[in-house]
Amino acid sequence: MALAEDRSSYQDLGRVALKQDLGRVALKQNIRKITVESLQLEPLCDQVVAYFAERLISKETLLRNSVMQKTFGDQIAIAFTYYRGGALVSCKYRDVNKKFWQEANTEKIFYGIDDIEGASDIIIVEGEIDKLSMAEAGIHNCVSVPDGAPPSVSKKDVPSADQDKKYQFLWNCKNYLNKASRIILATDGDTPGQALAEEIARRVGRERCWRVKWPKKNEVDHFKDANEVLMYLGPEALKEVVDNAELYPISGLFNFKDYFHEIDAYYHKKFGFEFGVPTGWNSLNNLYNVVPGELTIVTGVPNSGKSEWIDALLCNLNASVGWKFALCSMENKVREHGRKLLEKHMKKPFFVGRYGGSVERMSVEELEQGKQWLDDTFFLLRSEKDSLPSISWVLDLAKAAVLRHGVSGLVIDPYNELDHQRLPNQTETEYVSQMLTKVKRFAHHHGCHVWFVAHPRQLQNWSGSPPNMYDISGSAHFINKCDNGIVIHRNRDPENGPIDLVQVCVRKVRNKVAGTIGEAYLEYNRVTGEFSDAAGDMKLKKSSC
Ligand SMILES: Nc1ncnc2c1ncn2[C@@H]1O[C@H](COP(=O)(O)OP(=O)(O)OP(=O)(O)O)[C@@H](O)[C@H]1O
């Protein structure tokens, strides 16, 4: 008798079972009482015992699990008897053509349910032969689902118990399952098997589920179920598979172990820029380095040089590590922004006279060279409509710039030029918090550093000293939520030190690997817009950083 197992027979079973289930709904009150005699079940003949022996399932195990047979005309079918509390409640047949069917009007329960009575660990497999294979390895606290596996996980929510027709067997056996502290899912390793595990886990509670990892068969494939492991690796190996079951994953709940590869890569500095990229100014080396995926808030009173300093920083980063940037600079005309960037890059003024004085102007050839550099390095996010752009609009385009052009940094300058339509009843503080969460997610997800310029609120009786990060108009969330907080300040008090000396106040650094709070002094070159480390010990007498 050829009784080899295959998936199609399980699918047949699914169809048969579905028909039977539909039948069962109609006949809910009509569950038959059955006995071995009423079903005319017979003890196993040698032929069937030999069939199981080929699968390394012994006669002893077959007898222990009351596997029987039944004659239909000139055909013999295997009869898997379903007992509950010692009483026969259902029977499933399997014939020579690998077809399955279940006794009509009988209960849907797990196969082997009496074996898990009071067990704190329960193993669930996908077929009767897997249950018998576990028994062969001495693992008796195991049950099999009665109807095989679904093709995929249902996209719908789990229905209520009375509507959950396909998994009625689970609800019928819930008292047995409720007592278990661990439910080990040992369904097949293929897609339907995984789908079955998920369907069970979502019904019994993922938190107490574990799953087995089927061992490798060769370089590419894994053994697919308990019987294969028993046949090819033996009972000890099957026990080991169950002993080494791992926690069933819960979406959103992780172990550190899930991230060890990242921690190792970090330790061995495989990400690149672990300490951040130096700004190009020695005085800032210990204070502020640019880490991919972080958010830096830059503030300062109007005209303090925030935009100029960020532009100079981008030029330095491009020169040192070749980064490219997306620019959302709403206050700058493109030609003016282009001029400022070109001057910093070419280290020459764009014009003669006025701010350029008598310094030689960049040549036409240099302009052409510089234009090419501008085009390769910066990508402009500009709203062509009259209305102000929203933060989602900016982040969507920045994402396109990351994916299309490989940009590593985004500048949003300034916050108040974005459209900030708040939901009714939403406070500005709540709004800023949510907006910064979006910005940080973008930065983190794309490994893109974001510089966000925000103005301080109008300061009454301003003393001329650098503003506080908590003075940023809108919300304390700017300082609370950013990774780095920087105030750019230029001195306008001759009593206090050189006029226009630039103070870079690093007020917050979340990541101690990248820097620390403190201040540095830079000089601004009005002709080229470049910043350089302040000469010698040039600093302000009174510093409020
Ligand atoms: N340290 C400095 N010394 C002299 N002039 C400077 C200095 N820093 C910036 N400037 C000049 O100040 C002007 C404003 O600079 P920038 O646009 O960078 O300031 P900002 O802080 O971004 O201003 P706002 O808050 O108005 O956007 C520019 O013309 C720039 O050349």
DSSP per residue, 304-325: SSHHHHHHHHHHHHHHHH---E
Lowest mean pLDDT among 23-37, 391-405, 496-510, 512-526: 23-37
Instruction: Locate the ligand 1 atom nearest the alpha carbon of residue 311 and give its number.
Output: 18
Residue 511: pLDDT above 80?
Answer: yes
Q: What are the distances in angstroms from CA 481 to CA 80, 293, 417, 447?
A: 62, 14, 20, 17
Contact 491, 303 (CB under 8 A): no
Among protein residues, the one with the nearest Cα to ligand 1's atom 25 is 302
Closest CA to 473 of 454, 460, 487: 454
Would you say the CB of residue 500 lies under 6 angstroms from ligand 1? Answer: yes
Tokens of 543: 């510093």
Residue 538: pLDDT above 90?
Answer: no
Taken in order of first residue, the domains within the chain and their CATH numbers are 7-247 (3.40.1360.10), 293-485 (3.40.50.300)
Instruction: Locate the ligand 1 atom nearest the alpha carbon of residue 501 and give its number.
Output: 1
Task: Report the distance separating Cα 11 and Cα 370, nearest Å.
Answer: 67
Would you say the CB of residue 302 lies under 6 angstroms from ligand 1? Answer: yes
Classify residue 75 as exposed, middle or buried by CB count within 10 Å of its CB (0-12, 13-18, 19+).
Answer: exposed
The pLDDT value given to residue 544? 67
* pLDDT cut 90: percent of the chain above it: 75
Task: Report the distance separating Cα 300 and Cα 471, nearest Å.
Answer: 10
The pLDDT value given to residue 474? 73
Mutation to probe ligand 1, out of 297, 299, 303 (largest number of atoms < 8 A from CB): 303
257 alpha carbon – ligand 1 mean position (Å): 49
Task: Give 76's Cβ-side CA count (13 Å radius).
Answer: 16
Per the confidence metrics, is the pTM higher than 0.90? no
The pLDDT value given to residue 14? 39
Among protein residues, the one with the nearest Cα to ligand 1's atom 9 is 305
What Rg value do the Cα atoms of the chain yield, rounded? Answer: 36
Q: Is the ipTM of this complex over 0.90?
A: yes
503 alpha carbon – ligand 1 mean position (Å): 13
Would you say the CB of residue 502 lies under 6 angstroms from ligand 1? Answer: yes
Mutation to probe ligand 1, out of 281, 307, 413, 462 (largest number of atoms < 8 A from CB): 307
Q: For residue 464, give the DSSP letter.
A: S
Task: Report the distance separating Cα 93 and Cα 98, nearest Å.
Answer: 9
The Cβ of residue 157 has, within 10 Å, a number of other Cβ atoms equal to 7
Q: What is the pLDDT of residues 40-82, one digit of tens each?
A: 999 999 999 999 999 999 999 999 999 999 999 999 999 999 9
Instruction: Locate the ligand 1 atom nearest the alpha carbon of residue 455 and give its number.
Output: 25
Q: What are the distances in angstroms from CA 478 to CA 247, 422, 534?
A: 39, 17, 29
The pLDDT value given to residue 463? 76
Closest CA to 166 of 143, 145, 185: 145
Q: What is the pLDDT of residues 193-250, one digit of tens each?
A: 999 999 999 999 999 999 999 999 999 999 999 999 999 999 999 999 999 999 999 9
Closest CA to 41 of 97, 3, 82, 84: 82
> What DSSP assignment string belongs to 366-427?
HHHHHHHHHHHHEEE----SSSPPBHHHHHHHHHHHHHHH---EEEEE-GGGSB-PPPTT--
